[in-house]
Amino acid sequence: QLQLRESGGGSVPAGGSLRLSCAASGFISNYCMGWFRQSPGKEREGVASLDNEDTSTYADSVKGRFTISKDNAKNNLYLQMNSLKPADTGMYYCAADPPPCRRFGQYVSSTLAANFRGQGTQVTVSS
């Protein structure tokens, strides 16, 4: 059972940056991984995802501002978030699925149905 733990959330003004980290309890080199968020009053939204061949996809709302990356040696997943907006406020969750999981490179919504997820880290962006 893969365990995921997010960190790096916080409160920043609009235009600021944050880097979220997700530490996995086991090897993730073959896993597909990603991030989704839950904002107040909104449905859960896939933010960014990465398949096990390093093909990534992003929600339209974050394209050009967020970057997902993975460090297999450290078993960590990251989300670099730049030019943050108040609409980015929410709880951010790390998600992972074992193969076959190529859909993670095509559909960011794949993160919503992932087998493994963390407990989340809060991001608050003030205007």
Tell me the pLDDT band of 91, cut-offs 50, 70 and 90. Answer: very high
Provide the mean pLDDT of the chain. Answer: 96
Mean pLDDT along residues 70-90 = 97
Return d(Cα 27, Cα 104) in angstroms, integer: 18
The predicted-structure confidence for 6-57, as pLDDT tens digits, reads as follows 999 999 999 999 999 999 999 999 999 999 999 989 999 999 999 999 999 9
pLDDT at 102: 85
Q: Taking the mean position of all CA atoms in its chain, how far away is CA 104? A: 12
- Round to whole Å and give the CA distance between 46 and 58: 8
Region of 64 (left: φ > 0; alpha: ψ -120 to 50; beta: rest) is: left
Predicted pLDDT of residue 89 = 97
pLDDT attached to residue 40 = 87
Spatial neighbors of 72 by CB under 8 A, at least 6 apart, are 27, 28, 29
Residue 88 has pLDDT above 90, yes or no: yes
**pLDDT at site 98:** 94
